[in-house]
Amino acid sequence: MKTTIHSLLYSLTFLYASVAGASPASFESSDAMLRKEHTVILKVVNAMRKDVEALRRGEKVSAQRLRKALDFFENFADACHHRKEQDHYFPAVEELGGKPQHVRISTFLNDHTLYRVLLGKVRAGINKGSVSPSVTEPLAQYLSSVSLHICRENKFFKKSEPWLKPGREKALLRQFRQVEKDLGENFHQKYKRIAQELIGS
């Protein structure tokens, strides 16, 4: 019942925004924002799989392309997206109480730590103009694990979001926007462009 009431209130808020001429994005939920970012990250992850396949065949891959992918994963996926989750969304969910939430969040945080280690290994294998075969397995592990991680998080968001009160949702969205502001002007536009370049090349 609580989930149904929350969903109804959210729908009414969205309808009011449309009638009033306000931007629907201004009423976007925190989990919807995170899931949209997941979609972009997954597209880049899938685009980079062909680089792993090429490395496994012993073929050369572009050092510039890998550096660009690292930039995206380290800054958009980690410094921005993971910061929103770790510093704001997860603590808000933990306020609701319950051991299952805490266990899942701990798993997500451990994954984030692993990803920083894996990306560090990839970075160490990229020289000025060449890519060492040593990057192959860390990169492959990163891409494979992130795909599963995002799937689990999306399910977690779907279960958690209806229980967050409207006031808490508004606070989360303000905090998310502050994270982006702290990272610099046009941060999202920059990494949207980088993502498009990686996906399209």
The more confidently predicted of residues 188 and 13 is: 188
What would the mean pLDDT of 41-68 be, rounded to a whole number? 96
What would the mean pLDDT of 145-163 be, rounded to a whole number? 91
Listed by start position, the domains of the chain span 28-200
Position 94 scores a pLDDT of 87
What pLDDT digit, counting tens, does each position of 116-145 carry?
999 999 999 998 889 999 999 999 999 999
Position 165 scores a pLDDT of 84
d(C-alpha 69, C-alpha 78), whole Å: 12
Position 149 scores a pLDDT of 97
Average pLDDT, the chain: 86
Position 5 scores a pLDDT of 39
Residue 55 CA, chain-centre distance (Å), reads 26
Position 163 scores a pLDDT of 81
d(C-alpha 50, C-alpha 23), whole Å: 38
Confidence of residue 100 (pLDDT cuts 50, 70, 90): low
What would the mean pLDDT of 41-64 be, rounded to a whole number? 96
Residues 128-151 as b/e (b if ≥16 CB within 10 A, e otherwise) read eeebeeebbebbbbbbeebeebbe
The 8-class DSSP code of residue 28 comes to: -
28-200 folds as: Four Helix Bundle (Hemerythrin (Met), subunit A) (1.20.120)
Task: Provide the percentage of residues in the chain whose pLDDT is more than 70.
Answer: 85
Per-residue pLDDT at 9 exceeds 80: no
